[in-house]
Amino acid sequence: MSAPAITARQDARSRAPSPRPITIALLGLGQIGSAVARCASLSAGSAQPVRVACALVRDPSRDRADVPAIPLITDPRAIFALRPDAIVEALGGLEPARALVTDALERGVPVVTANKALLARHGEALLAIAVRTGTPLRYEASVLSGVPFLGAFAARPFVSITGITGIVNGTSNFILGRMGDGESLADAIAEAQRLGIAEPDPADDVSGRDAAHKLAVLAWHFGLGAFSPDAIETTGIASLEAGDLGCAGKLGGLIKPIAAVRRAADRATAFVGPAFVPLTHKLAPLGGVDNGVLLDTPGGRLSFTGPGAGPFATATTMLDDVVEAVRGGQPPPRHTPPPAGVAPPSTAWFVRLRGSELPRGDEVAEFLGSHGVWIRHAASCGQRRCLVTYAASRGRVETALGALALATGVEWLALRTLED
Amino acid sequence: MSAPAITARQDARSRAPSPRPITIALLGLGQIGSAVARCASLSAGSAQPVRVACALVRDPSRDRADVPAIPLITDPRAIFALRPDAIVEALGGLEPARALVTDALERGVPVVTANKALLARHGEALLAIAVRTGTPLRYEASVLSGVPFLGAFAARPFVSITGITGIVNGTSNFILGRMGDGESLADAIAEAQRLGIAEPDPADDVSGRDAAHKLAVLAWHFGLGAFSPDAIETTGIASLEAGDLGCAGKLGGLIKPIAAVRRAADRATAFVGPAFVPLTHKLAPLGGVDNGVLLDTPGGRLSFTGPGAGPFATATTMLDDVVEAVRGGQPPPRHTPPPAGVAPPSTAWFVRLRGSELPRGDEVAEFLGSHGVWIRHAASCGQRRCLVTYAASRGRVETALGALALATGVEWLALRTLED
């Protein structure tokens, strides 16, 4: 794990006075807690430093060589004596997370959490305390951990969400993708574990439980329903075989791990499980460990996709939640001065040649190559020939094509090519 | 134009005390201003009513039969005498919009605008005033008008955006889509005008100027560069022919209206124009008038897509900006009580049958039909047969398949099907 997100802003260090650091108390120092501590330690001297005042752990004697030096505490009562600006809850599970988050909100200390099990069962009650006490409660990293979108809707009553359809578990999306390529379930799980995508015990992902928790959070956050994750029809992916996915392909679709909730009047419908998705569906292209959520609104369907898990993406999102919760109000401008100039990029080019007598393909390649423009693909359609080149400046491409037109009489058109 | 977004929240009317209405002054009463006025008039009695105190217009005698009755004013000095909670700028263009927005911010009156021409040229200066005076300036509807995503990043310094690639002009995306189906440029423009997608004078869209304005706003908002839209290499779509798009298809791609900016150290590169996009690219599936933006972060690529224009989507977003700007702080919970119960939906089903001796297709169809399950598509792969059914409850499908298994010995698996 590296932290380029922070270093990118650090070039402002010498130019802008550094604001007062935000101080957080970390609850838990597991995979996510450690990542938060590492990201925070890299923010010293940046536009908004965050300092970890203490971390609540069960066993302070455990080896934590990969974590920056932080005061470790085991007694939760010590947290508030340090007067942190915010609490970052990274314990996971229901207790003592629920009790500590409740305590913080009652004391007026802002809370940031990504604990979907906690939020799925107690989110509504916790938010009620947050509203009563006027204390921020942020949980942007609980669903699509690398994509800020939940908070964007929190204070927007005019946009109405009538339904949500998503892929909210990257591990099962990765596994089904592999099975679509013909791998067995067991091999796909083993591969996911080898790559660090699946945990040693993948039960929460494979059973759909993780997705059901996230769907309950989404339903509650967007006002579509307040219900226990246990009330959602939840199917795991363990009953699938690679051949089933091949068969779905013959019907023009893929099998994807879907979570969906919809509201009609006072009734909500929801399900979690592998579902057949036509290739034309907006979720069909979502491969690998990517996650995505579609929100249906009267004005059209909105889509939000990106990394759904990973310690670095989660820690970045949680630290941004901390900054938002503590700062509030009109955000200050970014401290890193952006470049004032701009230039066109060097990209590959799509070139269309046209004419009644087109030169031969090898002649075109040799001619353009002698002008420093190299061809990667070519195709002919009647009086047109199309090329995709390697990267070059506009000037070089236009000079080469201008010379070709002079020499052979062809007409040409050149468009930039997107490759990533 | 209807306003289901608002009525959906109105069932809370009798249960929760209505908060004090937010009062706005509208600058301009054209297409967007009228839509804001209509949406606001429907919010009376909702969880957050917004009242239009006055609208600044050039000609108060013009017929405005489709707009709710609002006091019209022609003298800008009258605006602030009414002490509005916020200003909604819907004049378009540079002046007098710039002067009026500056005046409002200097007086501490929050401003909401979707004016990308204004923001592209004066956004940085206006934001500096907003920060100095501590006055909110919101412009969520200026890019991807129906998708809230700009504000989500405003106060998040930990997530670093290194590049942006997007389709930010729905009109040219629609036109190129039609040309990809073989239509001429002129016919595609005429069709877009007939559908209300293109304006009578489509020059801003076809030339790329609208997209260049939006790209300048994105570059500035995300800290990738502060430069005039005139400095961006901008190519229109007028030089393209339908045959060019067919040719691109032969090379495995589409031609899409792209806007891209990237930052490398102190240098920014950017371009706007039709570009070749491989079919595997994340922007390739974006058809019709949909808009989308990809944000590159160290943790992965984030994608935001949805309606990019339209008076209703724009007005909804602007009114949500008003609420956010005026309220601030921890958002109150949604007033509409969500349903407490949840049920599985009725969906179509993907059914896989397997066995050494599969019953004939017509026998399966007849058997399942007699149990109320109707087949829409079917395909065979070796010892498997796959079906997609019409919508049915899980109970009905499982009963039918259980009976089929008993009668014929086939094994079965049933998965829900996503259709939208």
Chain B residues in contact with A281 by the CB 8 A cut-off are 418, 420
Please tell me which residue of chain A has the smallest CA distance to B420.
A281
Chain A residues in contact with B155 by the CB 8 A cut-off are 320, 323-324, 327, 331
CA distance B73 to chain A (A): 26
In whole numbers, what is the pLDDT of chain A averaged over residues? 89
Q: 């911010």: which residue's tokens?
A: B105
Query: What whole-number percentage of chain A has pLDDT above 90?
Result: 63
Query: Is pLDDT of B340 > 70?
Result: no
Query: Is pLDDT of B322 > 50?
Result: yes
Nearest to B324 among A3, A155, A344 (CB): A155
Q: Do B350 and A248 touch (CB under 8 A)?
A: yes
Three-state secondary structure string covering chain B: CCCHHHHCCHHHCCCCCCCCCEEEEEECCCHHHHHHHHHHHCCCCCCCCEEEEEEECCCCCCCCCCCCCCCEECCCHHHHHCCCCEEEECCCCCCCHHHHHHHHHHCCCCEEECCHHHHHHHHHHHHHHHHHHCCCEECHHHCCCCCCCHHHHHCCCCCCCCEEEEECCHHHHHHHHHHHCCCCHHHHHHHHHHCCCCCCCCHHHHCCHHHHHHHHHHHHHCCCCCCCHHHCEECCCCCCCHHHHHHHHHCCEEEEEEEEEEEECCEEEEEEEEEEEECCCCCCCCCCCEEEEEEEECCEEEEEEEECCCHHHHHHHHHHHHHHHHHCCCCCCCCCCCCCCCECCCECEEEEEECCCCCCHHHHHHHHHHCCCCEEEEEEECCEEEEEECCECHHHHHHHHHHHHHHHCCEEEEEEECCC
At A183 the pLDDT is 94
pLDDT in tens, A22-70: 999 999 999 999 999 999 999 988 878 999 999 999 998 888 888 888 9
Please tell me which residue of chain A has the smallest CA distance to B1.
A299
Query: Is pLDDT of A9 > 90?
Result: no
Report the residue of B22, B129, B334, B342 to disrupt the A interface, i.e. the one with the largest count of A CBs within 10 Å: B342
Nearest to B158 among A5, A298, A384 (CB): A5
Q: Do B162 and A338 touch (CB under 8 A)?
A: no
Predicted confidence band of residue B11 (pLDDT cuts 50, 70, 90): very low
Window 181-220 of A, Cβ < 8 Å to B: 219-220
Q: Do B155 and A331 touch (CB under 8 A)?
A: yes
At A234, which amino acid appears? T
Query: Is pLDDT of B15 > 60?
Result: no
At B372 the pLDDT is 94
Q: 């699509």: which residue's tokens?
A: A144
C-alpha to C-alpha distances, B338 to A124, A350, B341, nearest whole angstrom: 11, 51, 9
pLDDT in tens, A233-248: 999 999 888 888 888 8
CA distance A76 to chain B (A): 25
At A333 the pLDDT is 57
What count of other Cβ atoms lies within 10 Å of the Cβ of residue A332? Answer: 17
User: Using CA atoms, how far apart are residues B249 and B262, in angstroms rounded to an integer?
Assistant: 27
Query: Is pLDDT of A106 > 80?
Result: yes
Of the ranges A294-298, A330-334, B42-46, B323-327, which one carries the lowest mean pLDDT score?
Answer: A330-334
Query: Is pLDDT of B2 > 60?
Result: no
A262: β partners: A163, A269
Mean pLDDT of B331-357: 76
Q: Do A345 and B232 touch (CB under 8 A)?
A: no
At A334 the pLDDT is 55
Contact B48, A157 (CB under 8 A): yes
In what helix (H) or strand (E) does residue A170 lie, and over which residues does it extend?
Answer: helix A170-180
Query: Is pLDDT of B9 > 90?
Result: no
CA distance A64 to chain B (A): 24
Window 56-95 of A, Cβ < 8 Å to B: none
pLDDT in tens, A320-374: 999 999 987 555 555 556 666 778 888 899 899 999 889 999 999 999 999 999 9
**Long-range contacts from B36-39, C-beta under 8 angstroms, 24+ separation:** B36/B88, B36/B90, B36/B315, B36/B318, B36/B319, B37/B67, B37/B68, B37/B70, B38/B1, B38/B3, B38/B66, B38/B67, B38/B68, B38/B315, B39/A158, B39/B3, B39/B5, B39/B6, B39/B312, B39/B315, B39/B316, B39/B319
**Long-range contacts from A177-182, C-beta under 8 angstroms, 24+ separation:** A177/A287, A177/A288, A179/A240, A179/A241, A179/A242, A179/A245, A179/A255, A180/A242, A180/A245, A180/A246, A180/A249, A180/A254, A180/A255, A182/A242, A182/A246
At B10 the pLDDT is 35
User: Using CA atoms, how far apart are residues A225 and A262, in angstroms rounded to an integer?
Assistant: 9
CA distance A397 to chain B (A): 15
Tokens of A20: 């007062």
Query: Is pLDDT of B330 > 80?
Result: no
pLDDT in tens, B118-148: 999 999 899 999 989 989 999 999 999 999 9
Q: Do B342 and A232 touch (CB under 8 A)?
A: yes
At A11 the pLDDT is 35
Mean pLDDT of B305-325: 92
Which residue in the list A214, A250, A256, A282 is annotated as catalytic? A214
Please tell me which residue of chain A has the smallest CA distance to B267.
A339
B300 contacts chain A (CB < 8 A) = yes
Window 23-62 of B, Cβ < 8 Å to A: 39, 43, 46-48
Query: What whole-number percentage of chain A has pLDDT above 70?
Result: 93
Predicted confidence band of residue A6 (pLDDT cuts 50, 70, 90): very low
CA distance A187 to chain B (A): 21
Beta strands in A41-94 (DSSP E): 50-56, 72-73, 86-89
A180 contacts chain B (CB < 8 A) = no
A341 contacts chain B (CB < 8 A) = yes
Chain A residues in contact with B130 by the CB 8 A cut-off are 330
A269 contacts chain B (CB < 8 A) = yes
Closest CA to A417 of A346, A353, A369: A346
C-alpha to C-alpha distances, B248 to A352, B178, B251, nearest whole angstrom: 9, 14, 5
At B21 the pLDDT is 92
At A116 the pLDDT is 96
Chain B residues in contact with A233 by the CB 8 A cut-off are 344, 394
User: Using CA atoms, how far apart are residues B266 and B264, in angstroms rounded to an integer?
Assistant: 6
Nearest to A9 among B46, B157, B269 (CB): B157
At A10 the pLDDT is 35
User: Using CA atoms, how far apart are residues A404 and A369, in angstroms rounded to an integer?
Assistant: 11
Query: Is pLDDT of B4 > 60?
Result: no
What count of other Cβ atoms lies within 10 Å of the Cβ of residue A280? Answer: 10
Chain B residues in contact with A38 by the CB 8 A cut-off are none
Chain B residues in contact with A310 by the CB 8 A cut-off are 299
Contact A55, A72 (CB under 8 A): yes
Pairing of strands B349-354, B384-389: antiparallel
The length of chain A, given as a count of residues: 420
Nearest to B320 among A159, A338, A346 (CB): A159
Chain A residues in contact with B262 by the CB 8 A cut-off are 345
Closest CA to A109 of A53, A57, A37, A179: A53
User: Hey, which residues of B are catalytic here?
Assistant: 214
Mean pLDDT of B108-126: 95
Angle separating helix axes B116-133 and B209-221, nearest 10 degrees = 20
In what helix (H) or strand (E) does residue A77 lie, and over which residues does it extend?
Answer: helix A77-81
Angle separating helix axes B311-327 and B31-41, nearest 10 degrees = 60
At A377 the pLDDT is 87
Please tell me whether the peptide bond between B96 and the residue prior to it is cis, using omega within 30 degrees of 0.
yes
User: Using CA atoms, how far apart are residues B346 and B342, in angstroms rounded to an integer?
Assistant: 13
At B215, which amino acid appears? L
Mean pLDDT of B168-176: 95
Residue by residue, DSSP assigns A209-225 as HHHHHHHHHHHHHTTS-
At B331 the pLDDT is 59
Nearest to B302 among A223, A306, A420 (CB): A306
Nearest to A338 among B226, B323, B330 (CB): B226
In terms of phi and psi (left: phi > 0; alpha: psi -120 to 50; beta: otherwise), the region of B258 is: beta
At A370 the pLDDT is 95
A166: β partners: A259, A293
pLDDT in tens, B223-272: 888 889 999 999 999 988 888 888 888 888 899 999 999 987 778 889 99
CA distance B26 to chain A (A): 17
At A365 the pLDDT is 94
pLDDT in tens, B55-76: 999 998 888 888 888 999 999 9
| Whole-prediction pTM | 0.89
Please tell me whether the peptide bond between B84 and the residue prior to it is cis, using omega within 30 degrees of 0.
no
pLDDT in tens, A377-402: 888 888 888 888 999 999 999 999 99
- The ipTM is 0.88
Contact A282, A166 (CB under 8 A): no
CA distance A40 to chain B (A): 9
CA distance B17 to chain A (A): 16
B279 contacts chain A (CB < 8 A) = no
At B79, which amino acid appears? I
Predicted confidence band of residue B356 (pLDDT cuts 50, 70, 90): confident
Chain A residues in contact with B287 by the CB 8 A cut-off are none
B225 contacts chain A (CB < 8 A) = yes
> Under 8 Å CB-to-CB from B212, ≥6 apart: which residues?
B120, B229, B230, B232, B234, B259, B272
- Give ∠ CA B67-B74-B32 in degrees, rounded to 5: 35
Mean pLDDT of B82-103: 96
Chain B residues in contact with A231 by the CB 8 A cut-off are 341-342
Predicted confidence band of residue A404 (pLDDT cuts 50, 70, 90): very high
Q: Do A344 and B313 touch (CB under 8 A)?
A: no
At A16 the pLDDT is 47
Q: Do B415 and A155 touch (CB under 8 A)?
A: no
Q: Do B158 and A345 touch (CB under 8 A)?
A: no
